[in-house]
Amino acid sequence: MIADSVPGSLPTAFPTEAGQASAGTSRYRIVRTLRLRNDNRPGVLGEVATAIGRAGGNLGDIRTVERGSHNVVRDMDVSTTDLGMLEDVLAAVRALPDTHLLDVRDEVLRVHLGGKLRITPRYPVRTVADLRHVYTPGVAEVCRLIEADPSMADRYTGIANSVAVVTDGTAILGLGNIGPVAGMPVIEGKCALMSQLVGIDAYPLLIQPGPSDQIVGALAAISATFGAVQLEDFAAPHCFEVAPALQSRVGIPVMHDDQHGTATVVLAAVLRAAAMTGQDLNQLTAGVIGLGAAGSAIAQLLMHYQGRTVYGTGRTPDSLERLRVAGGIAVEMDELMARCDLVVAATAQPGLIRPDQVRAGQIIFAISNPLPEIEPERAMAAGARLAVDGAVVNNLLGFPGLYRGALDARARQFNTEMFVAAALAIASRARDGEVVPDSLDREVHRAVARAVARAAMDTGVARLEPPPDYFEDVYRPPS
């Protein structure tokens, strides 16, 4: 059993983390909240922070719970790279003479208890009259209306504001092929963010891994329920088959977020990086390390925007062939690092780029999460002009607005022009000194939605022209 709160000690079982710890490293950070009672005198809090740092932990938020004349109780968020380091942190804290460890809590598990989503009705049923309006017999009139004119479903059902977020669990975050059920917390999180940021009703769907045609057939069969489909965490090369095949069978937008959502946000960040360093993006030679789902899409979108050849390096013949067909050139990694002004790495191989491979003046995006191919600090120390990691380049900046705009224009599909429009909108909202804007800024997502809807209209894939005030700053997502 996984403990949600165990006073003074670690939970006794961590199904995934334990396996990572036994291997000596973790590909993601472990976060715990420590409740401490400190003597109320100057310097004690500093001693705690120093002890945590020396043990390898990173100190996050500090919240005062209770303050007395002799003691202060605080909650302190601490992150470590593995369970062994967390044990070291706890031992260091326990050794402090003026500090008492009261509790160790996993706040991440707490917020996931019972899942992160629920369905609530827009119109509560309290009386018999309510029942007759919401359900039978009143609902029959609405059914007949839609039967006579199927387009009325957009007005009188939630279809036009709904997105299916689907995974087969084969490439979940940095965890790999852990299966669809284990991936459910990620998919629920995506749905919650769509709801809160742009007002979309998003539904998590889990599908068992299998042949592409079976997955496509199953999703096509239920597609009438939704206004769009987002594929999430499908492994390469499977994802290259499922997304286009499904799009060819349904008349609603389909996107694999790990491909085109990532590429959109990377393009936005690259636009900003070029501006911040005073360079013309169209004159920069770009290279992509890793040609899986994200890397292939990034290379193709960069080539479309720049109108230039992109160099790439990948591990499989299929990935290199995709690059060649798209107009790119395959090279070895050393040549890519020596030749390219802009380097984007998306390999899920921490530490792949050595400091001695960094060329002075390069822009480096090492975007694999949770650990990059090279830490931005090391890249900058080696001579890079600008370096960022996956903590900066976050898909959250892209997919909510992409889907909001596509739904509002009743787009039949996504296209490259819509991705470019979204990237330009994201870049335009960044402040001075920012590579990308705040991913929780709702105005950013509204700007992306407007740009995407306009691009859908301009390219002929929209079935509906939003009202004039849609494109004004007062726009709010439909309720």
**Residues annotated as catalytic (active site), given as ranges:** 135, 190
Strand, coil or helix: 163: strand
**Nearest residue to 314 via CA among 267, 343, 346, 356:** 346
Q: Is 290 left (phi over 0), alpha (psi -120 to 50) or beta?
A: left
Residue 243's identity, in one-letter code, is A
- Tell me the residue ranges of DSSP E strands in 141-271: 162-167, 201-206, 228-231, 254-256
Environment class of 120 (CB within 10 Å of its CB; exposed 0-12, middle 13-18, buried 19+): exposed
**Nearest residue to 116 via CA among 178, 203, 5, 197:** 203
Contacts by 2-6 with C-beta closer than 8 Å and gap 24+? 2/106, 2/109, 3/106, 4/105, 4/106, 4/109, 4/110, 4/113, 5/103, 5/104, 5/105, 5/106, 5/110, 6/103, 6/104
d(CA 216, CA 180): 16
Strand, coil or helix: 145: helix
**Nearest residue to 353 via CA among 331, 382, 319:** 382
Cβ-contact 368, 349 below 8 angstroms: yes
> H helices of 232-371, where?
238-249, 262-276, 293-306, 317-326, 333-339
Residue 403's identity, in one-letter code, is Y
Cβ-contact 56, 28 below 8 angstroms: no
Strand, coil or helix: 101: strand
Strand, coil or helix: 141: helix
Cβ-contact 277, 332 below 8 angstroms: no
d(CA 309, CA 390): 24
Q: Is 11 left (phi over 0), alpha (psi -120 to 50) or beta?
A: beta
Strand, coil or helix: 34: strand
